[in-house]
Structure 1
Amino acid sequence: MDAIQLLKADHKLVKRLLAELTETSERATKKRTLLLQEIQIDLSVHTTIEEELFYPAIKAAGKKQETKMYFEALEEHRAVEELVLPDLLSTDAGSDSFSGRAKVLRELIEHHADEEESKMFKDAKALMSKEQLRELGAQMAQRKQELLDKRT
């Protein structure tokens, strides 16, 4: 699996989990809590492999446009990891606030993933060979597994 395929699979999973989360009712507190825990782990692992491996590879292979995308993507990660997600994690899962905050998280993640897929991944395909993308994908898969193993 190449780097882009791996990241797209992650995007698909997190989007599905977020859709499921935002469709829950205030009475589904246990389900909300479990979904949010899974989302938090998946996002943490995903952003780590992007920031450690994928983004630097694109930045190194590219020019000014890729450097700009690199820093924008980092800021989007920071907004989710340091602001929106912690706020949601500290919100009562049975509250109306939870629903609104979950929706905002979903919208931010979907925007970020869609932007990566339409711009950054397109650039990656143009800047890197299929072999480079496969090698990067293997490194990312290995790092992803290491991170998941630490959590269990």
Structure 2
Amino acid sequence: MDAIQLLKSDHKEVKDLLEELSETTSRAVKRRAELIDTIQHKLHAHTTIEEEIFYPAYREAGGKEQEKMYYEALEEHRAAEDLVLPDLFKTEPNSEKFSGRAKVLKELIEHHIEEEEGDLFKQAKQLLDKATLQSLGESMAERKKELLAQGKQRKGNGARDN
């Protein structure tokens, strides 16, 4: 699977999880907690492979416009992972505040996905040849596998990644 296919697959998975989270009610405390843990785990693996492997290759292959998009994407990751998600973890799952924060997280991530799939990926396809995208995809898949295994290990020990 090439890098862009892998990232699009991740996007769909996270969007589906966020949609499920947004459809829960304040009575679904256990399900909300499970979903937010899963979302955090999947997002961490996804943003890490983008930041460590895909974005640097994209930035290196491009010019000023790609550098600008690179930094914007990093900031969007930071906003979701370091600001909104930790606040969501601190919020009681049975509250309306949780619903509001979950909606903000969903909208933030959906906006980020639209920009990546609408602009960044199209540019990446022009800047990087098929062999490079394939090689990046293989490296990203391997790294993602490691990150997901680490997350499962931490989860098994009762630790959260936040």
Gaps of 5+ in 2: 153-162
Gaps of 5+ in 1: none
| Runs of 4 or more consecutive aligned structure 1 residues displaced over 2 Å after TM superposition | none
Q: Partners in 1 of 2:151 and 2:85 — Cα distance?
A: 18
Aligned residue number for residue 33 of structure 2 = 33
Identity of aligned residues (%): 62
Aligned residue number for residue 86 of structure 2 = 86
Offset of residue 7 of structure 1 = 0.1
TM-score under structure 2 length normalisation: 0.93
TM-score under structure 1 length normalisation: 0.99
Alignment partner of 1:148 is 2:126 = no
- Count of residue pairs brought into register by the alignment: 152
RMSD of aligned residue pairs (Cα, Å): 0.5
Alignment partner of 1:76 is 2:76 = yes
Matched to 1:83, the amino acid is L
Alignment partner of 1:53 is 2:20 = no
Q: Partners in 1 of 2:81 and 2:35 — Cα distance?
A: 16
Alignment partner of 1:108 is 2:108 = yes
Describe the superposition over 1:47-98 as per-residue Cα deviations: whole angstroms up to 9, x where unpaired.
0000000000000000011000000000001111111000001000000000
Q: Partners in 2 of 1:47 and 1:17 — Cα distance?
A: 16
SS at the partner of 2:94? coil
Offset of residue 150 of structure 1 = 1.2
